[in-house]
Amino acid sequence: MAEIIGVRFRNTKKVYYFDPAGKKVDEGQYVIVETVRGIECGECAVANKEVSEDVLVKPLKSIIRVANAEDLANMEKNLRKEEKAFAICEEKIKQFGLDMHLLDVEYTFDGSKVLFFYTAPERVDFRELVKCLASVFKVRIELRQIGVRDEAKLLGGLGICGRGFCCKEFLHDFQPVSIKMAKEQGLSLNPVKISGTCGRLMCCLKYEQSSYEYLLKITPKIGALVETADGKGEVVDNNLLTGMLKVRLDRNPDAAPGKYNRRDVKIIRDAQIKLNREEIAALKDIE
């Protein structure tokens, strides 16, 4: 077991573990730590506790100190500088006529570097912009192009469910989501209904996918050939959650399909769920 504290940094819900170095840190306090981006100030989200060493990414870095009044004042100072830097960068982008949209600006805690986050439809040659910004701020400049999913995570907002974006509220990392998931879950393949505000497939398609995969294993798919108490037939509709099937019987194909529970039929030949070329072409931009 190892003693840790969990630290959360701005614009992210992800919690990173650090060695408290013998210090007692309460939830909500700020601490100074060293990260891959340099010295940073983060908020303690998890107070001192012991966890199994199996869940830790080693070596575990120690905190430098608990933030003091001077550190907190420096954070506030950086926030004010970021507002000014944002306005200046936007002005320079227009001056150079660059096709890019500035989203956010971050100063590192020690003020040695400024990071500008932006989106753009394609690659941007910002070398002259970097030179100009470096001459204005007299520090290291870094421009980072991010995708539409990261943009939504950075800015936040409300999803079609009425709740805050999952990526902003609690998701640590983006999980792979595919059109096949939507089809396996029986959803309409209407881009408006299965894509989020970011224009990509909704992250929540992933949440219940394992349950649907299990149900698909035990439920005859549409097009499957099954044996029922009334004879053989083809499954023309199914409800994965209730297990109810509609089967068109071979002996009377013009009659209304009979209703059966999946427990009461035997699969002779199952079908497969596939995307056709038209579906792939229509939805390729949101996957």
Q: Please report the domains of the chain, with CATH numbers, ordered by start residue.
A: 2-67 (no CATH), 73-146 (3.30.300), 222-269 (2.30.30.30)
Return the beta strands (E) in the chain as ranges: 2-8, 15-18, 30-35, 38-51, 65-66, 101-107, 113-119, 140-145, 225-228, 231-238, 244-249, 258-261, 266-269
206-215: long-range contacts at Cβ-Cβ below 8 A with a sequence spacing of 24 or more? Answer: 206/175, 206/176, 206/177, 206/181, 209/181, 209/184, 209/185, 212/181, 212/184, 212/185, 212/240, 213/184, 215/240, 215/241
Q: Are 111 and 139 in contact (CB under 8 A)?
A: yes
At residue 218, the pLDDT reads 95
Q: What is the dihedral of CA 228, 231, 232, 235, to 10 degrees?
A: -50
The C-alpha angle 271, 277, 280, rounded to 5 degrees, equals 95
Q: How many CB atoms lie within 10 A of CB 77?
A: 12
In this structure, is the dihedral angle defined by the CA atoms of residues 224, 225, 226 and 231, taken in order, positive or negative? Answer: positive
At residue 203, the pLDDT reads 94
Mean pLDDT split into 10-residue runs, the chain, 287 residues: 88 85 92 88 92 82 93 94 96 95 93 93 92 94 93 90 90 88 91 91 94 96 96 96 96 94 96 84 79
pTM for this prediction: 0.77
At residue 237, the pLDDT reads 95
At residue 41, the pLDDT reads 93
What are residue 119's DSSP bridge partners? Answer: 101
Q: Are 149 and 198 in contact (CB under 8 A)?
A: yes
The type of residue at 234 is E
